[in-house]
Amino acid sequence: MDSQANRRSFLVTAGASVLAAGASALDAQTEKPIRIAIIGTGTRSWAHLAILKTLPQFQVVALADPTPQNLDRGASLAPGAKTYSDYRKLLAERNDIDAVIVITPSFLHAEVTIAALDRGLPVLCEKPMATKVEDANRMIEASRKSGKLLYIGFQKRLVPTTAKMRELIAAGEIGAIQFVSGNLFRGDWNPASWKYTDPKTGVATNWRYLTFTEGSALLEDGIHEMDTLNWMIASPVVRVTAAGGNNVFKQRETIDNAALIVEYESGVKLSFDFCLFAANAGPGSRRMVIIGSEGVMQPENGRVAIRGRSGSAVRYVDVVDNTPKEATATQVGSAQDPETYKQYLAFEQSLRTGRPPAVSPEDGKTAIKLMLLAEKSLRTHRIMTWNDLPA
């Protein structure tokens, strides 16, 4: 199947979630490239830009970043895009932009996203949506008032085995969910990247080491897994308990490990472990096990494995992977990023048709609230309830 047919197939099947309030389609310019501005051209943006070069339905026309070396690197990946040191100038000057991609440090997500929405532009915002629940609420309100799409970058939902597991759970393949276990064990952030210069001290450091700029280490990476597990469980959170701290990187403000227990309204319990001082890959580095009343389900080698509670033999469910070949051929550093590729196809679908986003702003807010409650529990040694942070 050619790449255009693959793309059409994906656009038909992706994005079957609840319609985001106020999400409106682009004018009927179906065949024209979607002109986008990228705000924030640090390390993560380079993956986006590399992928966008393979997607002719998008055209990067503008870039903004206050750091010259980041802006130069971004410009080298998007020839022809005009560069700006201030995103506000970009938004004020350009009338030829169809959508904005926000890839700034997390503490700036709300500010930049709201400015773009207020300008009447749809936004794809990298996770986490924000570092405060109040900011997430302001983003949701800006999307509602403007009538423009706000899409949150939880691309892990688009992993084929993950999507298939959710489908099988909804079909009752393992009965009612009773207990869920997951983890993220990974290596440290690259200290030479993700630089942020603290205006108070003038010292440049990895912004993920600071609570002001990151919010919590749980917000930055563990949130991908937590969003996916929440999506599987599909029940409101009631209580959150966490323990952890800085066992290895003691000079940092942000934690390097945590163990969470989450209780849901349905009675389901979730156990989630997070560690920043492990190997970056390998068996068990990203694990997800769903235990139901009739069986146990988990991803194994590109398939879904289902085991009966009575000890019956494992049953494997094959997964149809409609990932276009261009997605798996795209190298970003040493890794492939097919889910971000597919995220752009889903974003295109929402922009062109008004169909619901794969991840709603409300989903984004739920994920950050859960992780912020876990961080608060960890630091105060208290059990947190869902109402311990704003609605």
**pLDDT digits over 81-125, tens only?**
999 999 999 999 999 999 999 999 899 999 999 999 999 999 999
pLDDT at 40 over 90: yes
Residue 326 CA: distances (Å) to CA of 3, 47, 247, 309: 8, 14, 41, 40
Answer yes or no: is 134 within a domain. Answer: yes
| Statement to judge: residues 257 and 171 lie in one domain | yes
pLDDT at 335 over 70: no
Q: Is 292 within 8 Å of 269 (Cβ atoms)?
A: no
Name the band, by pLDDT with cuts 50, 70 and 90, for residue 1. Answer: very low
Answer yes or no: is 335 within a domain. Answer: no
Query: In the beta sheet, which residues pair with residue 273?
Result: 183, 259
| Statement to judge: residues 166 and 287 lie in one domain | yes
| Statement to judge: residues 139 and 277 lie in one domain | no
Compute the average pLDDT of residues 139-152: 98
Answer yes or no: is 40 within a domain. Answer: yes
The rounded Cα 75 to chain-centroid distance in angstroms is: 24
Strands (E) in 216-364, as ranges, are 237-245, 257-264, 269-275, 286-292, 295-300, 303-308, 315-317, 331-332, 335-336
Name the band, by pLDDT with cuts 50, 70 and 90, for residue 9. Answer: very low
Single-letter code of the amino acid located at 207: W
Residue 101 neighbours by CB under 8 Å, 6+ apart: 36, 37, 38, 39, 45, 48, 123, 124, 126
What the block records as the tokens of 26 is 């682009």
The rounded Cα 143 to chain-centroid distance in angstroms is: 18
| Statement to judge: residues 26 and 117 lie in one domain | yes
Q: Decide which of 283 and 7 is more confident.
A: 283
Q: Is 272 within 8 Å of 371 (Cβ atoms)?
A: no
| Statement to judge: residues 189 and 73 lie in one domain | no
Average pLDDT along the chain: 87
pLDDT score, position 312: 74
| Statement to judge: residues 204 and 281 lie in one domain | yes
Q: Is 242 within 8 Å of 258 (Cβ atoms)?
A: yes
Compute the average pLDDT of residues 223-249: 95
Name the band, by pLDDT with cuts 50, 70 and 90, for residue 189. Answer: confident
Q: Strand, coil or helix: what is 72? A: helix
233 exposed, middle or buried (CB, 10 Å; 0-12, 13-18, 19+)? buried
Name the band, by pLDDT with cuts 50, 70 and 90, for residue 270. Answer: very high
CATH of the domain at 115: 3.40.50.720
Single-letter code of the amino acid located at 74: G
- The Cα–Cα gap between 290 and 307 comes to 11
pLDDT score, position 187: 83
What the block records as the tokens of 9 is 């197939």
- The Cα–Cα gap between 362 and 144 comes to 12
pLDDT at 374 over 80: yes
Answer yes or no: is 111 within a domain. Answer: yes
Residue 177 CA: distances (Å) to CA of 173, 182, 187, 386: 10, 14, 31, 21
Compute the average pLDDT of residues 319-343: 72
pLDDT score, position 286: 87
pLDDT in tens, 295-312: 999 999 999 999 997 767
pLDDT at 181 over 50: yes
pLDDT score, position 340: 92
Answer yes or no: is 311 within a domain. Answer: yes
Percent of the chain clearing pLDDT 70 (strictly above): 83
Helix ranges restricted to H, 216-355: 217, 223-233, 325-329, 338-353
| Statement to judge: residues 167 and 309 lie in one domain | yes
Name the band, by pLDDT with cuts 50, 70 and 90, for residue 313. Answer: confident
Name the band, by pLDDT with cuts 50, 70 and 90, for residue 30. Answer: low
Total count of residues recorded for the chain: 391
What is the β-pairing status of strands 123-126 and 99-102?
parallel
Name the band, by pLDDT with cuts 50, 70 and 90, for residue 10. Answer: very low
Nearest Cα to 81, choosing from 27, 33, 32? Answer: 33
pLDDT score, position 280: 74
CATH of the domain at 292: 3.30.360.10
Answer yes or no: is 26 within a domain. Answer: yes
Helix ranges restricted to H, the chain: 3-13, 43-52, 68-77, 87-93, 109-118, 133-146, 160-170, 211-214, 217, 223-233, 325-329, 338-353, 361-380
| Statement to judge: residues 234 and 369 lie in one domain | yes
| Statement to judge: residues 9 and 118 lie in one domain | yes
pLDDT at 292 over 80: yes
pLDDT score, position 73: 95
Single-letter code of the amino acid located at 240: V
pLDDT score, position 25: 66
- The Cα–Cα gap between 44 and 63 comes to 14
Compute the average pLDDT of residues 48-70: 95
What's the sign of the alpha-carbon dihedral 235, 237, 243, 244?
positive
Q: Decide which of 209 and 317 is more confident.
A: 317
pTM for this model (two decimals): 0.87
| Statement to judge: residues 210 and 319 lie in one domain | yes
pLDDT score, position 186: 87
Which of 197-206's residues contact partners 24+ apart within 8 Å by CB, and which partners?
none
Compute the average pLDDT of residues 182-205: 74
pLDDT at 80 over 60: yes
Answer yes or no: is 63 within a domain. Answer: yes
pLDDT at 16 over 70: no
pLDDT at 238 over 60: yes
Single-letter code of the amino acid located at 217: A
pLDDT at 362 over 90: yes
| Statement to judge: residues 323 and 344 lie in one domain | no
Residue-range definition of the domain harbouring residue 33: 3-156+340-360
Q: In the chain, how many domains are there?
A: 2
| Statement to judge: residues 115 and 182 lie in one domain | no
Q: Is 6 within 8 Å of 322 (Cβ atoms)?
A: yes
